[in-house]
Structure formats: structure tokens, C-alpha cells
Amino acid sequence: MGVIRQLQHWLKGQGSRINVCEFVPQTHPLRQWADTFPWQAFVEAVDRSIALRFPKQTDRGRSAISTRVLLGLELLKSELSCSDEQICSRLRTDFAVMYVCGIYDVQVDASQEHFVLPETLAQFRSFIDEKLMEELVTLQAATAIDQCLVSPSHLVVDTFPSEQGSQRVTDATTLYKAKKKSSK
């Protein structure tokens, strides 16, 4: 009953803040996936790229949504095969999605920082060009090598953890098998 009471306060915007990390176990696949990313470097790269290509025109209007939230949603959208509407809806209700987006405490208040419209996510996606994507992949690969998660000699970037021994088919494994067959 205590959890439901806390969630009711969260929905009403009253009471203490809820620590999202308490609701997302360390064994949760999305938490493990999120913990492999160098988020600070990603956010800095995206902010730098956007600032160079799209100078800020005004300070008026609604406060900006955090780059970490938008980047987390964009990456999750492709990993979970969701539409913009589905992933934005999950951000409002799924603690694991909040964790990936860097929202560690929630309480509905006037800022609504965890509320993202699909149109906002689509606009953010248009800012990510090929050069920026290459920089993000390079950052992720370097972090994976530094943390000894992969060997530099056989680096294949697969950003979603799966259980050991599972038969998950990816583009990388298909490409590897095709190369292996062609070399015989």
C-alpha cells in the first residue's frame, strides 16, 4: 500500500519526491543498457553540434527539455521499436524509461520535465546529422573499451544487453556470418 500511496502523491504533485533508482533494479535490462553509455560526453557532443548549426534565437517560451532526456528517448525509441507517441507516453509512466533519460527523482510539478511531446522528439531527431552520429558511436566504443566491456580487436556495437546464450539476431551477426560464408 505504501508504494501506491507514494505514486498517488507523485500523480497529484504533492508529497516527497520518488527516487526512480529504487524502482528500477540493477538487473533491469534498460538500466544495464543505460549504464553503458557515456551520457555526459554524449550530451556535450549533441549540445556542441546543435549550438554550431542552430544558434539560439530567443530566450522566450517554454523552458528547454534536457538534451539527456531527448537523447535517451531517441536511443530508446529505436531499441524498443516504439513510435514517438509510444516512447513519450512511456516516459510519463515507466520508471525504467525515466532512468534511461536521466530523471532520477520524480514529482509532478509545474515544470513537467518528464513530459515530452512527440513533435519535440521529432524536431530533436532532425538535429542529429551523420557527423554527430559518428561522434556518438566513437564515444560509446571508446567507453566500452575503457571499461573492458569489449575487446578492441573484435568491436561490434550492440547497445542492448541480452542474456548470455540467447539467439538474438542483429545486423552485426548477420554481416559476420555472411563474411564468414563468403570467405570459405
Is pLDDT of 111 > 70?
A: no
Backbone angles phi, psi at 18, to 5 degrees: -100, 130
pTM of the model: 0.58
Confidence tier at 42 by pLDDT (50, 70, 90): very high
Is pLDDT of 2 > 50?
A: no
Domain ranges of the chain: 2-54+63-173
Q: How far apart are CA 179 and CA 116, in angstroms?
A: 42
Q: What Cα–Cα distance (Å) separates residue 124 from each residue in 69, 70, 71, 108, 115?
A: 11, 7, 8, 23, 15
Question: Which pLDDT does position 140 carry in this prediction?
Answer: 84
